[in-house]
Structure 1
């Protein structure tokens, strides 16, 4: 089943921000906005919920710290204790100050690498994925707002978008997919 989507193209990010606020005030659903660079405050203007990626970063850091502690305890204390510089390794707590750099590095390593993987999975950016950019000009100097026409009057919506400063408006029949 096809649904109607309206693409409104803008040439200025300030005009885009005002347009987003006006479209949201009229209770239309903005599907996506494509920009050539990050626009500060656009997520709040679109009404997007706050991200929980910081919580996952903390959890991944805790996993890295746990792996570091268990790894160093097993390697340096239980499996193969060594007398380094006349200082025997009797317990983990006695040697922990020497292990702090390793704990820090593995905490950062796990948080950073697992966050990249989480970001790609959450954004559905798979290797060899076909680009979903509807207009190539949005990678250079234009901004595109994709508004779901749904059951709304398309003519009224296009006139609203024209009044917000859109330089080009297209009505498109979009195939519904599960992405």
Structure 2
């Protein structure tokens, strides 16, 4: 299903921030903002929720720690216990200080790699995906704010010109 959107281009990130705040103050919904670099505070100005990636990172770290403990207990204690440097291999707890670096490394490994995979899947950025960038200039030096039109095209156009837009386009966007 296609819907009409209005795209306003800006040349400065400060002007964009003021525009986003003004558009939100007028109670219009901003669909998306495309920027060539991260703009500090833009997510708060747009009213986006905080990310929960830190929670998933903690859960992935706990999973990595669990895998490390189970793996080391199985390999070094149950499956093939060895006398390394005169240290007994009768119980996991007696050998745990030697296993701390492995536990740390697997915790970090699982948290980092699974967090990146989660980010890519959540952002729908998989291999060979066609880019969704509506204007190639937003990868260089322009900022684009996209708003949905709901029988208020003239009002939105006037508002966006007042916010300092350098170009305004109305296009059809596939949902």
Short-chain TM bin: over 0.9
Cα separation, 2, equivalents of 1:59 and 1:137: 39
Give secondary structure in 1 for the equivalent of 2:9.
strand
Q: CA deviation at 1:155?
A: 0.5
1:168 paired residue number: 167
Question: Any gaps of 5 or more consecutive residues in structure 2?
Answer: none
Give a deviation string over 1:63-82, Cα, whole Å, max 9, x none.
00000000000000111100
Rounded Cα–Cα distance in structure 1 between residues aligned with 2:17 and 2:115: 29
1:36 aligns with 2:27: no
SS in 2 for 1:90: coil
How far 1:153 moved relative to its partner? 1.3
Aligned residues: 175
User: Cα offset for 1:158?
Assistant: 0.5
Give the distance between the partners of 2:19 and 2:57, measured in 1 at CA.
Answer: 34
Match in the other structure for 2:130: 130
Q: Deviation of residue 2 (structure 1)? A: 2.8
Runs of 4+ that moved beyond 2 A: none
More displaced stretch, 52-61 vs 86-95: 86-95
SS at match of 2:98: helix
Pairwise CA RMSD: 0.8
User: When the two structures are superposed, what TM-score results if normalisation uses the length of structure 2?
Assistant: 0.98
56-65 or 78-87, which deviates more = 78-87
Matches of residues 4-153 of structure 1 in structure 2 within 5 Å? 4-149=4-149, 151-153=150-152
| TM superposition shift of 1:175 | 2.6
Task: Give distance in 1, aligned partners of 2:159 and 2:107.
Answer: 50
1:151-162 aligned within 5 A: 151-162=150-161
Report the TM-score, using the length of structure 1 for normalisation.
Answer: 0.96
Distance 1:63 1:27 in 2: 43
1:137, 1:96 → 2: CA distance?
A: 55
d(CA) in 2 for partners of 1:154, 1:137: 24
Contact residue 8 and residue 168 of structure 2 kept, 8 A: yes
Unmatched runs of 5 consecutive residues or more in structure 1 = none
Equivalents in 1 of 2:9, 2:157: separation in Å? 12
* Whole-angstrom distance in 2 between the partners of 1:2 and 1:132: 15
SS at match of 1:127: coil
